[in-house]
Amino acid sequence: MGNLNFRPLWRYQDAIIEGIITTLWLTLIATLAGLIIGTICAVVLRRGPKPIRYLIYTYIEVIRNTPPLIQIFIVFFVFPGFGVRLDPFPAASIALSLYFGAYASEIIRSGLDSIPRSQVEAGHCLGLSSLQVFVHVVLGPALRNIYPSITSQIVLVLLGTSIASQISTEELFHTAGFIDSRTFRSFEVYALIALIYVLLVTAFRLLFALIGRVAFRWPTRR
């Protein structure tokens, strides 16, 4: 039976903190890029030309039906195939952005669909332009409707950054492996890393709850 000894881990505090920072950066980049990709896809899927729509359907279904680990390998190895050496962090960022983008596009699409046509009609009948209707009538309620789904998905991306460790991106999970190989205190290392992830996830959820309360102040349907 083993004894718990966390002390050897404290030497690696800095490495752990750097790992957390890298994890957060990856999450941020994947979230922002993914939202942009997702929005473009959602809009094109609603009113784009047929061949491009099929292309996007393919992209979304491929992402959703293959393991993210394989996706990150392919992104990592696709560039050397064209003679460009890609560093782990950019490769991981691209792969995670594409991953989140596919899921985000579905969420955003359902958000746009959730606004009744009658609202849009009312906006147009007041003499507003299509852009004005989108910004002032559709956007707010649509964002509120997708908020729970999109924030859950962002938390999944946060957890998914751990996969980047497999192409040697130095995020938190990779750091865990590194410390384990130096201290051999596997139990303590992975227990600690698990705890850190739980704390990060909880912090994200609280932050999202707070933002939600501030941003969406109007009463919901009784």
Partner 1 sequence: MALVEIRNVQKSFGSLKVLHDVSLSIEEGEIVTIIGRSGSGKSTLLRCINALEEIDGGEILIEGQKVYGKMPNLKELRQRVGIVFQSFNLFPHLKVERNITLAPVLTGRVSKKDARDLALSCLAKVGLQEKIDSYPEQLSGGQQQRVAIARCLAMSPHLMLFDEVTSALDPELVGEVLKVMEDMARQGMTMILVTHEMGFARNVATKIVFMHQGRVWEEGPPAELFENPKTPELQAFIGSTRQV
Partner 2 sequence: MRQFSMIDFVALTTALQYTVLLVILALAFGTPLALLMALLRTSRAAIPRWATAFVLQLVQGIPLLALLMFFYFGLPVFLGVQIPPLVAVTVAFTIYTAVFLGEIWRGGIEAVKQTQWEAAASLGISRWQQFRYVIAPQAMKIALPATVGFLVQLIKGTSLAAVVGFVELTRAGQLVSAATFQPLLVYSVVAAVYFAICFPLTLWSRNLEARLNGSR
Residues that bind partner 1 in the complex, under the rule CB under 8 A: 118-119, 121-129, 132, 136-137, 140-141, 144, 216, 218-222
Residue 184 partner contact from partner 1, partner 2, none using kind-dependent CB cut-offs of 5 to 8 Å: partner 2
Give yes or no for residue 74 binding partner 2 (CB under 8 A): yes
Q: How far apart are CA 171 and CA 156, in angstroms?
A: 16
Q: Which amino acid is at 160?
A: G
Which one among 21, 52, 70, 207 touches partner 2, defined by CB under 8 A?
Answer: 70
Residue with tokens 């983008």: 101
Within its chain, how far is the Cα of 146 from the centroid? Answer: 14
Residue 35 or 137 with smaller CB distance to partner 1: 137
To the nearest whole angstrom, how small is the minimum distance from the Cβ of residue 194 to partner 2? 4
Asked if 173 and 81 count as a contact pair (C-beta separation under 8 A), the reply is no
Torsion of Cα atoms, 159 then 160 then 162 then 165, to 10°: -170
Q: How far apart are CA 32 and CA 96, in angstroms?
A: 11
Torsion of Cα atoms, 202 then 155 then 149 then 33, to 10°: 140
Among positions 170-199, residues that touch partner 2 (CB under 8 A) are 173, 176-177, 180, 184-187, 189-191, 193-194, 197-198
Q: Which amino acid is at 130?
A: S
Q: How far apart are CA 91 and CA 163, in angstroms?
A: 12
Residue 58 or 132 with smaller CB distance to partner 1: 132
Q: Which amino acid is at 213?
A: R
To the nearest whole angstrom, how small is the minimum distance from the Cβ of residue 67 to partner 2? 4
- Contact region for partner 2 (CB under 8 A) — 1-9, 93-101, 138-146, 209-217? 1-9
Please give the residue ranges that form the binding site for partner 2 (CB under 8 A).
1-2, 4, 61-62, 64-71, 73-74, 77-78, 81, 159-160, 162-163, 165-166, 173, 176-177, 180, 184-187, 189-191, 193-194, 197-198, 201-202
